[in-house]
Structure 1
Amino acid sequence: MFLAVRDLRRGARRFVLLGVVIALVAVLSTVLSGLATGLVTDGISGLRALPLDRLALQEGAQATFSRSTLRPDALAAFADLDGVEATPLGASFVNAAAVDGGPSLDLALFGVAPDSFLVTRADARAALAGEPGIVLGSELHDEGVEVGDRYTLGGSEVELPVLGFTFAGTYGHAPIAFTSLETWQRIQYGESADGRFSAIALRGGSTDQLDRAAASVGAEVLTKSEAYAGSPGFSAETTTMTLIRGFLLVISALVIGAFFTVLTVQRTRQIGLLKAMGASNGYVLR
């Protein structure tokens, strides 16, 4: 401790520099953690907010809505199970072109049944049960979109008004818009929808019970967290940010370790002199 205190006094600038480096590394780690959390949240916040326990998708879809197509017979297989709530969900990415020539919107369009448990707010239920239209996330209202604005969706001839705003979140870094399942099917499949949809939202039931039902209709059941992997870029973003944080920690350890290694080598003579004067190992370490 005696030698360490003298080193601190004589080499104050070096130790201040080390402290600054450690502080900067800590700040950078915090910023990267916040960035990673923000990227993940921006990719899945809307899916995370949906009041469901599991999702059933077509077998082999790899948690990706665009690769999954289910039909009413699959919905019936789950709806007939005791203690299970099942409702269809359509999901796709669309570009909404403003009819009046305003800016277009990139949307993750979710088609839901107005009376399903996925629609939790009474005003949203009422809006979706009325005339065909879309309910947008409240952040789009802050950007100047108003109730009654009309948009043509997905390059189709379907023109829909904005019915209202709610908390919707995002999926795949695009704001979520809700519409009725019938309207979504018309946008996605035209007149030949044949009752198709992307997934089935599930609440309740045991894993074995749901897996057996899924196997009978060529589907697979995923937990909500497993479904996050289907969000575009989710896996790549989380893997990249994890690697960056890991490399940052390794580099930080090497920098700090190198500093103390150099400091120890520079003090070899002083330590040898203390030993020659009879100082014990314990005294030198203290």
Structure 2
Amino acid sequence: MFLAWNEIKRNKLKFSLIIGVLVMISYLLFLLSGLASGLMNMNREGIDKWQADAIVLNKDANQTVEQSLFNKEDVSNSLKKQTTLKQSGVIISNGTHEENALLFGVTDKSFLVPKMIEGKKFHKDNEVIADESLKDKGFKLGDKLSLSQSDEKLKIVGFSESAKYNASPVLFSNNNTIQKLNPSLSSDKTNAVVVKDANWQKKSLPNNLEAIKIENFIKNLPGYQAQNLTLNFMIIFLLVISATVIGIFLYVITLQKTNLFGVLKAQGFTNGYLAKVVLSQTFIIALIGTLIGLILTIITSAFLPSVVPIKFSIVTLTIYGVVLIAVSLIGSLFSILTIRKVDPLKAIG
């Protein structure tokens, strides 16, 4: 480690270039990981707050709530704890701001409604609770909302914790309100039944219905897997690029020092010792580059606007940082193999 660190200090410019590349790679890696987490959270945060085990849908609905429709009495006594869910897409406007949203029709004490942060729960028709992401977009308590597809007016009486569903903000209303907008959702009909029952798989349902594990339901949300796979592939490619770049830089540096390694071998330094020097150098520059990239990421997160779907987790950032350092060490193996092939007599001349 001593020899490795001293060489880095003597060749600041050369090693600074490698560290600079690592800083850019780690910075982009951390931002992509935050973007991946943010997009995942936008799709599933409302569903996660249900803390449910399964959801019952019509088999012909392709696991899509809004396309599902069935008699709620079909599952009335089948499962332990359950609540109906009626859903309709709406375009809302308070006169200043316009937004695409989802309107959920739920019962008064439904566990689908997240914790309130402001205002009160709905008690009358056309009263709604909005999730706080709408508050960040210019909607406020008491706003009268006009709808593009209906003459009905909705009034925001409260705000809940953020509860986005498939990247859309959610409004919660009673069943009468959503029925006015969608007459097919009559009192005896529902789009879905959300279930809290650890033994839901053992319960029987009519042939036209299916119960889906919540995690599987989330994975089948439109765009969810495509977004995750795309960003994960980008992260994997970044790690591969990192290993390649580090490997090339260190390989070139090793070739430039062939005579030096030959002299060191002639003086009795073993291949194992020289390999440790290279690994130590790689660890030091990878650690410095990763830490600087992490600091830049934290600074950037403080200035990003709330509309950017990015979410950082200390655990995730730590894991990616460790993986990046490990991948950089793997990239240095090419240099170690080159050192092993150095012949002291040929190197000295």
1:110 corresponds to: 104
User: Aligned AA for 2:29?
Assistant: S
TM-score (structure 1 length as normaliser): 0.82
Question: 1:249 deviation in Å?
Answer: 0.5
- Aligned to 2:161, which of 156, 162, 167? 167
1:60: how far off?
4.7
Please point out which of 210, 218, 239 is paired with 2:229: 239
Within 5 A, what are the aligned runs for 1:59-98?
A: 59-76=59-76, 79-81=77-79, 84-98=80-94
User: Does structure 2 retain, via aligned residues, the 8 Å contact 1:43–1:232?
Assistant: no
Displacement of 1:93 in angstroms is 2.0
Report if the CA contact (8 A) 2:70-2:190 is conserved: yes
Equivalent in the alignment of 2:41: 41
Aligned partners of 1:165 and 1:5: how far apart in 2?
56
Aligned pair count reads 276
User: 2:139 maps to what in 1?
Assistant: 145
> 3-state DSSP class of the match of 2:88?
strand
> Identity, % of aligned pairs?
29
Instruction: Map Cα deviations across residues 36-87 of structure 1 (whole Å, 9 max, x no partner).
Output: 11111122212221242221122253432233222223332xx344xx1121
Deviations 1:203-253 (A, max 9, x none): 12414323x32xx24222222222223444222211111011011111001
CA contact (8 A) 1:74 1:217 kept: no
> In 1, are the aligned partners of 2:132 and 2:161 still within 8 Å (CA)?
yes
Q: 1:107 to 1:263 in 2, by over 3 A?
A: same
Q: Distance in 1 between matches of 2:74 and 2:104?
A: 19
Identify unmatched segments of 5+ residues in structure 2.
Answer: 277-349
Equivalent pair of 2:114/2:160 in contact (CA under 8 Å): no
Determine which of 190, 193, 205 is the counterpart of 1:200: 193
Structure 2 CA distance for aligned equivalents of residues 15 and 35 of structure 1: 30
Give the match for residue 238 of structure 2: 248
Q: Does 1:181 align with 2:171?
A: no
Q: Distance in 2 between matches of 1:105 and 1:138?
A: 13
Q: Please give the TM-score of this superposition, normalised by the length of structure 2.
A: 0.68
Give, in whole Å, the separation in 1 of the partners of 2:269 and 2:125. Answer: 90
Question: For structure 1, which runs of at least 5 residues remain unmatched after alignment?
Answer: none
Of 270, 277, 284, the match for 2:260: 270
Residue 274 and residue 75 in structure 1: after superposition, are their counterparts in 2 closer, same or farther (change >3 A)? same
Q: Secondary structure at the match of 2:150?
A: coil
Preserved contact between residue 168 and residue 177 of structure 1 (Cα < 8 Å): no
Q: Show the counterpart of 2:282.
A: none
| SS of structure 2 residue aligned to 1:116 | coil
Give the deviation of 1:178 after TM superposition.
0.3
Measure, in 2, the Cα distance between the counterparts of 1:156 and 1:20: 57
Report deviation, 1:195.
3.0
- Which shows bigger deviation, 17-26 or 197-206? 17-26
The structure-2 alpha-carbon separation of the partners of 1:68 and 1:154, relative to structure 1 and needing over 3 Å to count, comes to farther
Q: Distance in 2 between matches of 1:191 and 1:68?
A: 11
Contact 2:82-2:194 at 8 Å conserved across structures: yes
What is the rounded CA distance, in whole Å, between the counterparts of 1:35 and 1:121 in structure 2?
A: 26
CA distance in 1, matches of 2:138, 2:273: 72
Residues 67 and 275 (structure 1), Cα distance of their counterparts in 2 relative to 1, 3 Å cut = same
For residues 162 and 6 of structure 1, the distance between their equivalents in structure 2, rounded to whole angstroms, comes to 65
Q: Is the 8 A contact 1:150 1:160 kept in 2?
A: yes
> Is the 1:154–1:187 Cα contact (8 Å) retained in structure 2?
no
Task: Tell me, in whole angstroms, the C-alpha distance in 2 between the residues paired with 1:12 and 1:45.
Answer: 47
Structure 2: distance between partners of 1:276 and 1:207: 73
